[in-house]
Structure 1
Amino acid sequence: MPTQTHGRLPPELLQKFPSMSPVERLNALLSNKAPNDQRFTSQFLESECKLHDFKQLSPKSALVTFAFKVSRNYCNVSGNLHGGAQAAFFDLCTSLALMSIGQPDSWLNGGVSRSLNVTYLRPAPEGEELIMECEIVSMGKSLALTKGRLMRESDRGVISTCDHDKAFVPSKPGWKL
């Protein structure tokens, strides 16, 4: 198995990552294929989640929009997007938003969750096209607050919302960006 220094990016891309634009970073993270990555999030990031829009609101805030279709893999027994999957997708996508504008030694690894509060409003059936907006509300040296909103693409009906409080921690050895 080839050695990787990070769970998402090969070493040659890691070197360029800090100097990439936010959109280049997001596209790199979403398009990188890691066939030996067995985490359940890999399929979602590699095949299903697409960058829809990016707006930098200030040096430390941004609004990043992702698009994906509700896959059967993530549905509950009623045929709707599972609440746990929604929480995981909020966790992933708000972290990607932080990584898009992070700086060396600050947020390039997405940090770790302190709290993730999801409010579920309506179901999202299998096959539904969805849009997820992720806003970086505040990004300091060690703490960040992000908000997310998952909506139907067709009419922007809100499926769920989240508040995601994150803490920056250095990457473990071998994973440093």
Structure 2
Amino acid sequence: MKKPEKFYTKDYMSRPGMSFAVDIEDPVERIQEFMNGYKREPVAEGFEESLMTNDLAIVGATGPPHVTAVFEMEMTPKYGSRMGNAQGAAISLIHDMCTTMAMAPLAREDFWHFGGVSRVLSVTYLRPTKTGTRVVVECEVLQVGKRFGVYRHSSARATSRHLLEQRRFEGR
């Protein structure tokens, strides 16, 4: 029986929305360009595509040495449950995509030029996120090496700044 051909992450790099535009200096513009890749050529359907093309907006970002990114979105019913709260899986996806994009300001041609794969994802839900709530998502890169990064992430109600979730993430 013939073995299947191996497929590596680098084989995906030609897809829009995979690599960071390392030629763009401004951290906000670099993250926005990553998000624009999803709009130019959608390759899938589902939460990620909708999140990246319609629902999430970059509000601010800083580059090295202190790397942060701030996003804002409305928790629409498509991310919710019958109880009117955001699904835990949806919140994990939002955290995952936002921490991925927080790496963009650090990226260079030979260093973290794409987000990678989550290895450890820990979310602590402090209170329910009601659908219809506008949330602010804040990410901070705590430490990054050649193959592994550690991030802190939280989301809060945009109006009151009441903390909704906290997350610690390790990945790539």
TM-score range with shorter-chain normalisation? 0.7 to 0.9
Shift of 1:17: 1.6
Query: Aligned partners of 1:18, 1:54: CA distance in 2, in Å?
Result: 15
Distance change (3 Å), C-alpha of 1:151 and 1:7:
same
Aligned equivalent of 1:38: 45
Q: Does 1:121 align with 2:126?
A: yes
Deviations 1:115-144 (A, max 9, x none): 000000011111110000010001111111
Amino acid at match of 1:19: D
Deviations 1:61-95 (A, max 9, x none): 41110000001110012011111111111111100
Q: Does 1:18 align with 2:25?
A: no
* Partner SS state of residue 38, structure 1: coil
Q: Does 1:163 align with 2:168?
A: yes
Query: Aligned partners of 1:92, 1:27: CA distance in 2, in Å?
Result: 13
Could you say what the CA RMSD is over the residues aligned between the two structures, in angstroms? 1.8
Unmatched segments (≥5 aa) in structure 2 = 1-12
Residues 68 and 129 of structure 1 are in contact (CA less than 8 Å); yes or no, is this contact kept in structure 2?
A: yes
TM-score, normalization: structure 1? 0.82
Unmatched segments (≥5 aa) in structure 1 = 168-177
Query: Aligned partners of 2:28, 2:139: CA distance in 1, in Å?
Result: 14
Shift of 1:103: 1.3
Counterparts of 1:1-177 in structure 2, within 5 Å, are 5-8=14-17, 17-21=21-25, 22-32=27-37, 33=39, 34-58=41-65, 61-167=66-172
Deviating above 6 A after TM superposition, structure 1's stretches of 4 or more consecutive aligned residues are: none
Deviations 1:20-57 (A, max 9, x none): 12222111122331344324301101111001111235
Amino acid at match of 1:97: A
| % identity of equivalent residues | 25
Residues 67 and 141 of structure 2 are in contact (CA less than 8 Å); yes or no, is this contact kept in structure 1?
A: yes
Shift of 1:7: 4.1
Residues 100 and 108 of structure 1 are in contact (CA less than 8 Å); yes or no, is this contact kept in structure 2?
A: no
Query: Aligned partners of 2:108, 2:132: CA distance in 1, in Å?
Result: 37
TM-score, normalization: structure 2? 0.84
Aligned equivalent of 1:173: none
